[in-house]
Amino acid sequence: MHNKSMSNENDPEVNKEVEAKGPQSMNERGAMRSRRPASEAFRKFIGSNWGPRDDSGVQRSEVADFLPARHQKLSRTFPADRLVIPAGGLKVRNNDCDYRFRAHSAFVHISGLGGEKEPDAVLVAEPVEEGGHEVVLYFKPRASRSSEEFYADSRYGEFWVGARPSLEEMETMTGLRCAHIDTLPDALAKDAGQVQLRVVREADSNITSMVDQVRKQAGLVHGEDARPLDEELTQELSEMRLCKDAYERDQIALAVNVTYQGFDEIIRSLPRAVGHRRGERVIEGAFGARAREEGNGLGYDTIAASGNHANTLHWIDNDGPVRPGDLVLVDAGVEVDSLYTADITRTLPVDGKFTEVQAQVYNAVLDACEAALEAANKPGCIFREIHEAAMEVIAQRLEEWGVLPVPASEALSASGQQHRRWMPHGTSHHLGLDVHDCAQARQEMYLDAKLEPGMVFTIEPGLYFRADDLAVPEHLRGIGVRIEDDIIVNDDGSVTRISEDIPRTVEDVEAWIARVQAEGK
Ligand code: GLY
Ligand code: MN
Ligand code: MN
């Protein structure tokens, strides 16, 4: 659709004009489809005669009450520094078409924003005299309808992409002080040299350069020398998300709930998937439709892996057939409007019944899930112990089946690890705004840390017997199983599977498929 609305490429007068000018620059060529009316009469007319704006939907958002506590955490770590947290900009997909905007998760967490109207916005946490910081949101507020942006800017203009909030509306929604993005350079340069600046470097290269310019002019550490300072900020922004507040817990529960609905859609789609040459895409589409209807979209690309494709861990081509008698492994999560995501895997028998050997592999993985959950439930559990508990079960089962070339005890030692041939990935990761949340946290805060109330993480063991794996008996080859649940640590230290309603035992999965498909008839 882009930029078609004002096209007059068939107008002979315009074409003559183009010819007369001679060769065009590459930039000019990009604008060829659309020639903007430039007459004063047009400008005057398009800026006039619009009805009043309806601001009745503008209200303080639920998350606004949770922001001060998040800001205080930042202040405790960096009491005197000016902290710069950009949302990031639009990314070009090709020519004048951009990818859908998704703000950097640190920006989302500190601002509570999650929409598509904040590309190029920047949060600045400014240290204040009485202690703590004032967090100010710099962004491009809505332009007036008499501005050229209104009708002519396909990236930001209201006529093209919808209205952004005004400064006042944004203040109402977030509870933050808001300022025009044009005032950002001065705000960054204020008291140059007296305040240390730190920036989330990877969020927006333009803002990183701007901050660096200020640091350089003020005689502060800059360029690569400032990287360690900036990385301390990124690390803190990651670590402060390790324990979710009440708002975040609700949002993740919602994401899991909608993801469950998406899996129902997957089950409904199975008969059509079986009849389609690219049945995996049918499954992917069924989930994606629900994700978009009920949430912002997908938290990550859906893995819909039937048969041997399940043994390609990040199979997102999803262009294979779905055959009766096979298992289909689906790893999918809905990202809700607040941008929190679920991360769920279920491995489903395409025709509704597990074969004996499929159930054998499935139950080994399920036992590993249970062992991991039990480990997590023990007081004082260290994050890495969850994986270790799952691996014990996996190694034991492989030993029982005569598949392991060494005893399980030897495989489980640091110098063994042979069982990892069949499960090369980790068992758990933190989950939240990012599917692999808190990825910049230090090891002592993540892998080596005790579980704390509010932590949300996955348990996702698997077994993957590739079709060409000569180290396993033939009957196991081509079977891949993963079961993934999302877990929360409660205030009393116990853990709960947030996804406990999504069936996962052999019997429950079979009954689930039968029920959903019967409902569809
Ligand atoms: N879906 C990615 C993961 O399970 O980590
Ligand atoms: Mn997953
Ligand atoms: Mn996962």
The average confidence (pLDDT) of the chain is 94
pLDDT for residue 117: 75
CA–CA distance, 237 with 393 (Å, rounded to integer): 35
Q: Residue 453: its pLDDT value, please?
A: 98
Q: State the pLDDT at residue 129.
A: 93
Sorting pLDDT into bands at 50, 70 and 90, what band is 26? confident
Instruction: Let me know the angle formed at the C-alpha of 348 by 344 and 352, rounded to the nearest 5 degrees.
Output: 145
**Given CA atoms 363, 369, 372, 374 in this order, what sign does their dihedral have?**
negative
Predicted confidence band of residue 118 (pLDDT cuts 50, 70, 90): confident
**pLDDT at res. 4:** 39
The pair of three-digit structure tokens given for residue 368, joined into one six-digit string? 């590993």
Token pair in block for residue 2: 């882009």
Q: CB-side exposure of 219: number of CA atoms within 13 Å?
A: 3
Whole-angstrom Cα distance, residue 188 to residue 72?
21
pTM, two decimal places: 0.94
Cα 306 to ligand 1 centre (Å): 17
Q: How confident is the model over 413-430, as pLDDT tens digits?
A: 999 999 999 999 999 999
Q: Which ligand is nearest to the CA of 428?
A: 3
**pLDDT, position 139:** 97
For 448-463, the pLDDT digits (tens) are 999 999 999 999 999 9
**Among residues 33, 474, 497, 4, which one has the least CA distance to residue 252?**
497
pLDDT in tens, 161-181: 999 999 999 999 999 999 999
Which atom in ligand 1 lies closest to the alpha carbon of residue 345? 4
Question: Tokens 């809505």, residue?
Answer: 142
Residues whose beta carbons lie less than 5 angstroms from ion ligand 3: 343, 458, 460
Long-range contacts of 417-423 (CB under 8 A, 24+ apart): 419/391, 419/394, 419/395, 420/391, 421/471, 422/394, 422/398, 422/463, 422/464, 422/465, 422/472, 423/391, 423/394, 423/461, 423/462, 423/463, 423/464
Asked if 398 and 408 count as a contact pair (C-beta separation under 8 A), the reply is yes
* pLDDT on residue 16: 54
Low-confidence winner among 28-32, 139-143, 508-512 (lowest mean pLDDT): 28-32
Kindly state the tokens that stand for 284. 């992917």
The pick from 287, 298, 300, 344 for probing ligand 1's pocket by mutation, whose C-beta has the most ligand atoms within 8 angstroms, reads 300
Going by their DSSP bridges, the two strands 133-139 and 177-180 should be labelled as: parallel
Atom of ligand 1 nearest to the CA of 331: 1
CA of 452 to the centre of ligand 2 (A): 22
Q: Is the pLDDT of residue 374 over 70?
A: yes
Overall average pLDDT of the 27-49 stretch? 85
The whole-number average pLDDT for the span 8-31 is 61
pLDDT band at 23 (very low <50, low <70, confident <90, very high): confident
Residue 453 identity: P
Q: Is the pLDDT of residue 2 over 60?
A: no
- Express the helix, strand and coil content of the chain in percent, nearest 5 each: 40, 15, 45
Q: 389 and 396 in contact (C-beta within 8 Å)?
A: no
- Residues 363, 357 contacting (CB under 8 angstroms): no
Instruction: Identify the pLDDT of residue 505.
Output: 98
Among the ranges given (19-33, 96-110, 336-350, 504-518), the one the predictor scored with the smallest mean pLDDT: 19-33
Residues 6 or more apart whose CB falls under 8 angstroms from that of 45 comprise: none
Proportion of the chain above pLDDT 70, given as a percent: 96
The whole-number average pLDDT for the span 26-37 is 75
CA distance 135 to 484: 37
DSSP state of 517: H
- Return the pLDDT at 14: 46
- Measured distance CA(140)–CA(9) in Å, rounded: 32
Q: Tens digit of pLDDT for each residue in 225-234?
A: 999 999 999 9
- What is the residue with the minimal CA distance to atom 3 of ligand 1? 343
What is the distance, to the nearest Å, from the Cα of residue 481 to the centroid of all Cα atoms in its chain?
Answer: 24
